[in-house]
Structure 1
Amino acid sequence: MAKEAYIITGASKGIGFEWSRQLNEQGHQVIGIARTKPENWPDDNFLAFDLTKLDAIEDIMGQALKWISKDTETIVLVNNAGTIEPIGFAHTNDTAQVSQSIVLNLTAPMLLCGAFIAQLKDRSSHKKIINISSGAGRKAYEGWSAYCAGKAGLDHFSSCLDAENADVKVVSVAPGIIDTGMQEKIRQSEAADFPLLEKFLHYKENGLLSSPEETAAMLMDMTQRPDFNKLPTILDIRNLPAIGEGQLE
């Protein structure tokens, strides 16, 4: 039996997949959630699910938790799924794309967190929630209004959730700039829609992007820190306090 179990959304690619793979190598149980299951999924358990189907989120969480043994010591929810689209100025963005952005980046994680806490209320396991945020939630970027708004909301929701639940530690962490499919979409955008396009092209051309493997390893180390419960709720993976520095909020 694995001592730790992880439920990870957006697990089919990028840091979600790489984190799942590394956890599996450590012997932990991983339950992936994404629209499609990758051929090389490292664990037995995967739920093919579209997170925009909000009415089914409670049920999908119930299915995931059924796979986790009652005596598992630590259960972790990782809200990693998200979208950068639409890229464009707020007054030009498509209504449906804005709505879907908020659903994927904010509403679905909120409901997943609620279902996770409600359905585990009678379990004595240690409970952790990791919400993958972004520096864009803490700084304004022209052309990313929907993404910035969703991630800012996720940060503040995480602070509320952490305050409400003494038995659940919640962290909203910015993972840095990573060489994933999201970065590809950014580089394919138009300068008229995203004025910082050249800067992001420069990141790629000059090898300044972190790899999913490196980032996943850092996130895994953060989650397994002995002082995890004392970490600030709002974090940047590139600027973590040293172990033992205590609560800095």
Structure 2
Amino acid sequence: MEAYIVTGASKGIGKELVEQLTAENHFVIGLSRSGIMKDGVHSIQCDLSDPSQINAAAEEIFNLLPDASSYTLINNAGMIEPIGLAGEVEHTEITKSVAVNLTATMILSNYFIHHLKDVNAKKQIINISSGAGRKPYEGWSSYCTTKAGVDHFSRVVALEQKTAKFPVQIVSIAPGIIDTGMQEKIRSSKEEDFPLLDRFKSYKENEQLSSPSETATELISFMKKMHQFDETILDLRNL
């Protein structure tokens, strides 16, 4: 049996990952703010912008986990907001962005590594990052910064795990531009808040967006051969 933990599991890539992994008869735990109503999925309702809820969810996750041949944590949940130039955004939205995009990833990864440290099995952490963590975009200071944090956190953990008795392999992978609710929010923003608005509208108009289903399939294929990769920072489009 293979066990998977997926955050942001009720929509977009996360929803597709849960559905495809469940269809393959794996043990799947899905975290989401709204909860999941799907047979075969162990659903945990959790608002990742609240660190106290993250800790409670983590305890529940590791009470649910069975003995398995492999364990995979997919930190997929993320938010693009706040969109706006620094100095013009609400500080409460910055706090929420850091919690969802970075703090939740760090806390859940910490629990995962600690709980399974003495388990001799295949163990993987897949952090869903973004090209925005590797290149600055005006109007996305919070998103770019938190995704850069995810990348560097992954680098540090990869370094630490080299000396672990039963190491966890970790990657931070950018999936490309996906036709999800996040892209809808980007397209509905104002040009004064996001100067590259027209470019992102053109991605949709010119059918340059990947579907969540296609992306989930590619991610699952990658996870099956992840042990072949030595790099920590990856782009799904280049694999």
Whether these two folds match at TM > 0.5 is yes
Give 1:69's aligned amino acid: P
Q: Distance in 1 between matches of 2:113 and 2:36?
A: 28
The normalised TM-score by structure 2 is 0.95
- 5+ residue gaps, structure 1: 241-249
In the alignment of these two chains, the number of paired residues is: 235
Q: Distance in 2 between matches of 1:60 and 1:229?
A: 31
> What does residue 46 of structure 1 align with?
43
Q: Distance in 1 between matches of 2:52 and 2:228?
A: 31
The normalised TM-score by structure 1 is 0.91
How far is 1:27 from its partner?
Answer: 1.3
> What does residue 196 of structure 2 align with?
196
Question: What RMSD, in angstroms, separates the aligned Cα atoms of the two structures?
Answer: 1.2
> What does residue 104 of structure 1 align with?
100
Q: Distance in 2 between matches of 1:198 and 1:221?
A: 33
Which 4+ stretches in 1 moved above 4 angstroms?
Answer: none
* 1:236 has 2:235 as partner: yes
Q: 1:150 aligns with which of 146, 153, 156?
A: 146
Counterpart of 1:32 in 2: which secondary structure? strand
Q: 2:28 aligns with which of 17, 27, 30?
A: 30
Q: Distance in 2 between matches of 1:134 and 1:81?
A: 12
Q: Distance in 1 between matches of 2:41 and 2:125?
A: 22
Q: Distance in 2 between matches of 1:124 and 1:74?
A: 9
Q: Deviations over 1:178-217 (max 9, x none)?
A: 0000000000000111011111111111111000000000
> What does residue 246 of structure 1 align with?
none
> What does residue 8 of structure 2 align with?
10
How far is 1:69 from its partner?
Answer: 1.6
Which deviates further from its counterpart, 199-208 or 30-39? 30-39
Give 1:233's aligned amino acid: T
In the alignment, is the contact (CA less than 8 A) between 2:47 and 2:53 conserved in 1? no
- 5+ residue gaps, structure 2: none
**Identity within the alignment, %:** 49
1:51-70 equivalences in 2 (<5 Å): 51-70=48-67
